[in-house]
């Protein structure tokens, strides 16, 4: 569905900033999140987790736990489906260990009891005998010849021969001749970079309430970014038909990609089937950190050649991503996003997916892109410094535009990178003076965005109001966007539209709320469903007037005859048509089911000022500006919120957040006190500029905005910190000890 050229500016509702429809629920405590559900006769589940990073499970003795008063069921791997293959087999292995525990926190058994306290006591009574095996948690160490092998069957056909079995997937792409490109450069810089794993850090731990009878019929309430994928996966893992499991998505307390898979849901279903009672499981924070998706840690080498005038002649990147104990680290996204902001004749990128004894990585906002961007944009900054060039001018000179052959293959359609760079250059932040001890950094970032399978239903009520059922959980205000888009098409007030997140039994399949797809794809589907309803309304008006259907058109919420030849009739408003709909042909609703494929790619440019204390190595972010192309901001306030949230998470990733493993392979910082995400006093106000270069693949020009905002911060902050500290930081996070070490080392060298 292409951009509607007639309608990209004169919007009545799009671009306004009304209160979100679920605002009252969220500020009064009325909203029902994952852990807020209760059911009659409900039991509480608790999971037994491995204390070892890598161990063979010799035996599991559940007898003592079963004897505890109040315990109703205990499950192990034997209680799940057999002979699964592909992704489902990895998910099951992660949900409940089979022969081996593969990381500290890996689930090995679970119990359900009449209270949460009894369940916790019972979990401690499950006795597991382990044979401890050698482990590896670092990505470079996991690729070394002598690294312990996690599984020698995981590597797929893409992996070149001679690599360690822990390298499970390989990616190689690019075009041109990089060697010739480097030879023609005035300056070539090659550097190595590392980033540590960070967690999505959503404030709501995973939670679910499950019922499964021995008739194979089940109900599941859970916090998820995608209840259809949860339905499909859970059904497969417990061995029932997909349609027999009805999944309702609770309100979701943050996800950022980390709630796109299942962890405890199949376990709750298995416990419920065995006990014949509803079972609720809520993770505690330590379980969230130890056993759900952090992002990958990385080791990267980037080489870029540049002419004295700033032209990039060639670029090459090697991206090694550690993704935990199972295949799936987003190394191909690292590789494909790394150089996407630049029009390059010679570019080459290689990715390695490496398994290690850590929890299975899960998507985290633009998975793979922020790390790659950190390495690439650091090298570009260094080249600019050495050649005495302005970092924004250099980026403008090389920027990808409409028609550019992207580093990952296809040619870009209309994109807004140049517009974000121009806006950055013109922004007062870029020319503001810095104080002593401060440094300024800029960086660009890219994310693909995604369409995905989408269904929306829209029903008109007799009083002329409207209800929309969408299948994408509202993770940050999307109900408001859907209502605005429907209001725009129907021409009725925003307040007269109620948006509901439908469950899996009441709407067609919907892909997950990920890939920055919701406002794009569910929005497009909402527009199409509303247009479907409008078509039916026009038919009713045509019948009422006794004129052909194509002689009626819709404007300002009314059916109108199209031109003088159609006849002279007064416009009929929507409410008048719906009032009689029972008598004029029955209920009127609109539907749309498809897989929209015009998700426009997105670019952003960030400017940041940082101040480094040379005594302690502590960094303060003193000013931050996000400039990003939204295509068209449906509800600008929530677009700004996405920009600000992405920047804040990026600041945490750049400066503080990391998974720290001990020699024993156990996670050492599994609570929010030790894994410290940015708090209000760590951050400045975050300025935003919304650039609007319409996406030709959406009727109103929308591009997804959720993910791009976390791509530039790592590099922008590293560039600012390196400028402020006078030494290049190549290992994230740039925590005070790491900065201090770099300062001390430089002082010794100097």
Residues contacting residue 75 through CB under 8 Å, at least 6 positions apart = 96, 109, 110, 267, 270, 271, 274
CA distance 450 to 653: 24
**For other proteins, the closer CB: 14 or 35:** 35
**For other proteins, the closer CB: 162 or 428:** 428
Q: How far is CA 477 from CA 22, 31, 254, 481, 509, in A?
A: 8, 13, 11, 7, 21
Rule CB under 8 A: say whether 222 interacts with other proteins: no
Rule CB under 8 A: say whether 668 interacts with other proteins: no
Q: Report the run of H or E that residue 489 belongs to, with start and end.
A: helix 478-490
Q: Smallest gap, in angstroms, from Cβ of residue 442 to other proteins?
A: 19
Residues contacting residue 358 through CB under 8 Å, at least 6 positions apart = 103, 137, 197, 294, 297, 322, 324, 325, 659, 661
Please report, as residue ranges, which positions from 275 to 294 form the binding site for other proteins (by CB under 8 A). 282, 284-285
Q: Contacting other proteins (CB under 8 A), which of 45, 105, 174, 253?
A: 253
Exposure of 341 by Cβ count < 10 A (0-12 exposed, 13-18 middle, 19+ buried)? Answer: buried
Site mask for other proteins (CB under 8 A), range 11-50, x = bound: ------x-xx-xxxxxxxxxxxx-xx-x------------
Residues that bind other proteins (rule: CB under 8 A) add up to a total of 61
**For other proteins, the closer CB: 317 or 476:** 476
State phi, psi for 722 to the nearest 5 degrees.
Answer: -65, -40
**For other proteins, the closer CB: 255 or 324:** 255
Q: Contacting other proteins (CB under 8 A), which of 149, 683, 696, 741?
A: 683
Rule CB under 8 A: say whether 349 interacts with other proteins: no
Rule CB under 8 A: say whether 468 interacts with other proteins: no
Instruction: Answer left, alpha or beta for residue 276, where phi above 0 means left and psi between -120 and 50 means alpha.
Output: left
**For other proteins, the closer CB: 5 or 19:** 19
Site mask for other proteins (CB under 8 A), range 92-131, x = bound: -----------------------xxx--------------
Buried b (16+ CB within 10 A) or exposed e, 637-659: ebbbbbbbbbbbbbbbbbbbbbb
Q: Contacting other proteins (CB under 8 A), which of 637, 669, 696, 743?
A: 637
SS3 label, residue 184: coil
Q: Contacting other proteins (CB under 8 A), which of 686, 711, 721, 732?
A: 686
CB 297 within 8 A of CB 353: no
Residues contacting residue 172 through CB under 8 Å, at least 6 positions apart = 348, 349, 350, 351
Q: Contacting other proteins (CB under 8 A), which of 252, 269, 492, 705?
A: 252
**Interface segment toward other proteins; rule CB under 8 A; list 58-66, 96-104, 149-157, 647-655:** 647-655
Q: Smallest gap, in angstroms, from Cβ of residue 453 to other proteins?
A: 23
Q: Contacting other proteins (CB under 8 A), which of 292, 644, 722, 735?
A: 644
**For other proteins, the closer CB: 23 or 437:** 23
Sign of CA dihedral 164, 82, 90, 50: negative
Q: Smallest gap, in angstroms, from Cβ of residue 19 to other proteins?
A: 5
Report which of 232, 231, 235 is spatially closest to residue 222, judged by C-alpha positions.
Answer: 231
CA distance 191 to 746: 17
Q: Contacting other proteins (CB under 8 A), which of 437, 491, 573, 641?
A: 641
Rule CB under 8 A: say whether 645 interacts with other proteins: yes
Cβ neighbours, 10 Å, residue 162? 6
Task: Find the DSSP H helices in 284-362.
Answer: 285-291, 331-338
Strand partners, 209: 221, 280
Rule CB under 8 A: say whether 198 interacts with other proteins: no
**Interface segment toward other proteins; rule CB under 8 A; list 194-202, 395-403, 410-418, 551-559:** 194-202
**Interface segment toward other proteins; rule CB under 8 A; list 7-15, 199-207, 268-276, 303-311:** 199-207
**For other proteins, the closer CB: 89 or 284:** 284
Rule CB under 8 A: say whether 608 interacts with other proteins: no
**For other proteins, the closer CB: 41 or 587:** 41
**Interface segment toward other proteins; rule CB under 8 A; list 253-261, 290-298, 459-467, 600-608:** 253-261
Q: Contacting other proteins (CB under 8 A), which of 14, 212, 350, 475?
A: 475
CA distance 95 to 267: 7
Rule CB under 8 A: say whether 620 interacts with other proteins: no
SS3 label, residue 681: helix
3-state helix, strand, coil in the chain (%, to 5): 30, 25, 45
CA distance 14 to 635: 7
Rule CB under 8 A: say whether 656 interacts with other proteins: no
Sign of CA dihedral 568, 574, 578, 579: negative
**For other proteins, the closer CB: 16 or 158:** 16
CA distance 327 to 200: 19
Q: Smallest gap, in angstroms, from Cβ of residue 735 to other proteins?
A: 18
CA angle 436, 442, 444 (to 5 degrees): 170
Could you list the residues that contact other proteins (CB under 8 A)?
Answer: 17, 19-20, 22-33, 35-36, 38, 115-117, 200-205, 251-256, 282, 284-285, 475-477, 637-638, 640-642, 644-649, 671-673, 677, 679-683, 685-686
């Amino acid at each position: 569905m292409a951009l509607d050229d007639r309608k990209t500016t004169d919007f009545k509702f799009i671009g306004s900033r009304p209160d979100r429809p679920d605002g009252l629920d969220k500020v009064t405590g009325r909203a029902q999140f994952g852990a807020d559900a209760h059911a009659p006769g409900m039991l509480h589940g608790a999971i037994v987790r491995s204390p070892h990073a890598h161990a063979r499970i010799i035996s599991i003795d559940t007898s003592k736990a079963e004897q505890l008063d109040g315990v109703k069921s205990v499950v192990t791997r034997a209680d799940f489906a057999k002979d699964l293959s592909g992704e489902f087999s990895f998910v099951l292995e992660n949900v409940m260990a089979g022969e081996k525990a593969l990381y500290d926190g890996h689930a090995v058994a679970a119990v359900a009891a009449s209270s949460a306290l009894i369940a916790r006591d019972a979990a401690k009574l499950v006795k597991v005998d382990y044979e401890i095996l050698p482990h590896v948690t670092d990505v470079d160490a996991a690729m070394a010849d002598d690294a312990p092998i996690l599984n020698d069957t995981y590597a797929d056909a893409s992996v070149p021969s001679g690599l360690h079995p822990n390298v499970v997937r390989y990616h190689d792409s690019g075009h041109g001749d990089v060697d010739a490109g480097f030879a023609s450069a005035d300056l070539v810089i090659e550097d190595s970079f590392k980033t540590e794993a960070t967690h999505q850090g959503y404030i709501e731990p995973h939670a679910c309430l499950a019922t499964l009878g021995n008739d194979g019929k089940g109900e599941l309430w859970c916090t998820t970014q995608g209840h259809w994928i949860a339905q499909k996966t859970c059904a497969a893992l417990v061995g029932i038909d997909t349609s027999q499991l009805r999944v309702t998505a609770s309100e979701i307390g943050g996800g950022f990609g980390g709630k796109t898979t299942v962890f405890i849901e199949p376990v709750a279903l298995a416990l419920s089937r065995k006990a014949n009672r509803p079972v609720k499981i809520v993770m505690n924070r330590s379980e969230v950190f130890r056993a759900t998706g952090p992002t990958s840690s990385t080791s990267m080498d980037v080489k870029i050649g540049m002419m004295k005038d700033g032209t990039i002649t060639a670029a090459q990147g090697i991206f090694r991503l550690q993704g935990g104990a199972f295949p799936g680290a987003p190394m191909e996204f690292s590789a494909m996003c790394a150089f996407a902001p630049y029009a390059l004749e010679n570019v080459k990128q290689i990715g390695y997916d490496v398994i290690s004894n850590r929890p299975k990585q899960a998507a985290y906002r633009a998975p793979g892109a922020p790390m790659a961007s950190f390495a690439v944009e650091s090298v570009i900054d260094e080249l600019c410094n050495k050649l005495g060039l302005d970092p924004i001018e250099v980026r403008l000179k090389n920027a990808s535009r409409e028609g550019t052959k992207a580093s990952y293959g296809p040619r870009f359609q209309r994109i807004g990178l140049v517009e974000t760079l121009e806006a950055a250059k013109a922004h007062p932040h870029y020319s503001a003076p810095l104080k002593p001890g401060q440094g300024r950094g800029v960086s660009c970032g890219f994310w693909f965005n995604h369409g995905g399978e989408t269904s929306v239903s829209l029903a008109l009520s007799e009083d002329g109001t409207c209800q929309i059922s969408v299948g994408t959980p509202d993770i940050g205000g999307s109900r408001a966007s859907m209502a605005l888009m429907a209001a725009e098409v129907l021409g009725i007030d925003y307040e007269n539209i109620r948006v509901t997140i439908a469950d899996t039994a009441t709407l067609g399949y919907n892909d997950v709320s990920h890939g920055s797809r919701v406002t794009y794809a569910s929005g497009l589907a909402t527009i199409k469903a509303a247009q479907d309803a409008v078509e039916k309304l026009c038919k009713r008006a045509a019948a009422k007037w006794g004129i052909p259907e194509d002689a009626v058109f819709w404007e300002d919420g009314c059916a109108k005859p199209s031109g003088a030849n159609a006849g002279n009739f007064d416009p009929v408003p929507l409410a008048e048509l719906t009032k009689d709909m029972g008598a004029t042909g029955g209920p009127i609703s609109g539907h749309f089911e498809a897989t929209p494929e015009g998700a426009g790619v997105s670019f952003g440019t960030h400017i940041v000022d940082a101040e480094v204390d040379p005594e302690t190595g502590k960094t303060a972010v003193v000013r931050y500006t996000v400039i990003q192309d939204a295509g068209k901001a449906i509800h600008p306030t929530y677009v700004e919120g996405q920009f600000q949230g992405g920047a804040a998470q990026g600041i945490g990733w750049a400066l503080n957040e990391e998974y720290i493993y001990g020699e024993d392979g156990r996670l050492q910082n599994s609570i929010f006190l030790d894994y410290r995400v940015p708090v209000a006093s760590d951050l400045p106000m975050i300025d935003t500029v919304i650039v609007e270069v319409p996406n030709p693949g959406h009727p109103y020009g929308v591009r997804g905005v959720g993910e791009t905002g976390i791509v530039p911060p790592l590099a922008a902050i590293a560039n600012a910190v390196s400028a402020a500290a006078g030494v290049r930081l190549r290992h994230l996070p740039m925590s005070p000890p790491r900065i201090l070490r770099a300062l001390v080392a430089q002082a010794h060298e100097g």
